[in-house]
Amino acid sequence: MVEIPDHRHCQMCGKIVPPDQTFCSKACREKFENIMRKRKRLLLILYLVLIAVFALMIYASYV
């Protein structure tokens, strides 16, 4: 049986990296961080819109 050396895969592109690393390059790390920043911003906007819709529904039910 072939023994595979201990390794991980880059979270951005999937290339093989040593077990103590998460990304294969600085470019992959920066790209991943940008995507995560955008995702967090989008999630925050989604929550705010959801809260606004519920508040509007509650307000409309009393008027």
Give the tens place of pLDDT for each residue, 11-59: 999 999 999 999 999 999 999 999 999 999 999 999 999 999 999 999 9
Phi, psi of 16 (to 5 degrees): -75, 135
Name, in order, each residue with C-beta under 8 angstroms of 38's C-beta and a sequence gap of 6 or more. Answer: none
Residue type, 40: K
3-state helix, strand, coil in the chain (%, to 5): 60, 5, 35
pTM comes to 0.76
- 5 versus 34: the higher-pLDDT residue is 34
Provide Rg for the chain, Cα atoms.
21
